[in-house]
Chains A and B, each alone.
Chain A
């Protein structure tokens, strides 16, 4: 199966929370993402991480505005 056969959805969002994407929202995101079968990735700048892993999301250090 080629990569182009896999359906993909991409959404660009901006972090509004003044505290950035810290542990609590990160955990909520990871928990929700884990409910889905699909692969979910979060991309910030040049970093691309597994959206189902809180530890991975924490490595983004995504502050307000990113």
Chain B
């Protein structure tokens, strides 16, 4: 499950303006709607589902990264996007640190394997400090997209 298989390039946000957890979720989900990956009518119910999942346990997995996600019947394939917050957002992460890198994932309800494979890919890349650093330093959506493509070509993972 490569990044290019599920990330909507036009939904990438290199400079999130949101300052709080709810706002980040809203900003990134809206980005997916604007990219056409999610229907506009499904925006609120998708945000609600993502928020509900966060209440079960923060997806701020530490090291400045969070992977908010949900299953949602309105998508027939896994869609996602990447957001970078320069200031950092308090996401109630497991290590108590602010989050700078966000990977939002929306998957169809009946395909848990896709979600797991995306998570596998994301976490493998994130274990590489260079990848994380370059991601945080990215200025444009295009920069981030190129970085994801390089990651897909195994430039970072040993």
State whether A18 touches B127 (Cβ < 8 A).
no
Compute how far the CA of A59 lies from the CA of B67 in the bound complex, rounded to whole angstroms.
Answer: 13
Residues of B within 8 A of A24 (CB): 56-57
Across the interface, do A61 and B127 meet the contact criterion of CB distance under 8 Å?
no
Contact pattern, B 115-148, Cβ under 8 Å of A = 1, otherwise 0: 1110111111011000000000000000000000
Majority SS at the chain B contact face: helix
The main secondary structure of chain A at its interface with chain B is loop
Query: Please, how many residues of chain B have a CB less than 8 angstroms from a CB on the other chain?
Result: 22
A58 touches B94 (CB 8 A): no
Let me know if B57 and A61 touch, CB within 8 A. Answer: no
List the interface of chain B (C-beta within 8 A of A).
56-57, 59, 61-63, 65, 67, 94, 112-113, 115-117, 119-124, 126-127
A residues near B (Cβ < 8 Å) are: 18-24, 27, 54-56, 58-64
7 A-B contacts (beta carbon < 8 Å) = A20-B113, A20-B116, A22-B119, A56-B127, A58-B119, A61-B117, A64-B112
